[in-house]
Amino acid sequence: MKKCNRCKQEKDKKEFYKNKYRKDGLEYVCKICFKKKVNDTNTNDTNTNNLLEEIKQLKLENIKLKEDIKHIKWFFDNSDIRINLLEEIKQLKLQNMKLEEDIEKIRKILEDVVNKMNFLKEKVKEFQDKINYKGELNVK
Ligand SMILES: [Zn+2]
């Protein structure tokens, strides 16, 4: 009989795994406790690995955040660039307005051209009608 170091139960020596490095040639915990111990170690390892991975991710996020802050700070520190950018945006907006105005003007010109074309068509038709009329007169 041998007392398990973990569950403190007296158990038959068959209930212990062999370990040639120990004085009595057996593990100091019973087979059941040994399996539990291995599982615990695995779980702890997994937990530790998860934690380490989480810390790694957090560190990476932290670095990214610091980078972002740096960029934002740089942007505000460089007010010249900011003003230039704002000026550029303003110019672009003005250009856009001008473009819209141009488009409106072109639209009006096109409308006018279409109206003139219709007027001309109307005139051509009138002229043709007159010719036909005269032609008929000539026939008679
Ligand atoms: Zn035990």
35 Cα–ligand 1 center, Å: 10
DSSP 47-108: HHHHHHHHHHHHHHHHHHHHHHHHHHHHHHH-HHHHHHHHHHHHHHHHHHHHHHHHHHHHHH
* pLDDT digits 0-9 by tens, 100-136: 999 999 999 999 999 998 999 998 888 888 877 766 6
Q: What are phi and psi of 51, to 5 degrees?
A: -60, -45
0.75 surpassed by pTM: no
| pLDDT at site 138 | 54
Q: How many domains does the chain have?
A: 1
Give 63-79 pLDDT, tens digit per residue.
Answer: 888 888 888 888 778 77
Domain that holds residue 135: 79-140
**94 within some domain:** yes
If you measure from the C-alpha of residue 49 to the centroid of ligand 1, how many angstroms do you get, rounded to a whole number? 28
- What is the distance in A from the centroid of ligand 1 to the CA of 41? 16
Asked, for residue 132, whether it belongs to a domain, the answer is yes
**pLDDT category, 140, cuts 50, 70, 90?**
very low
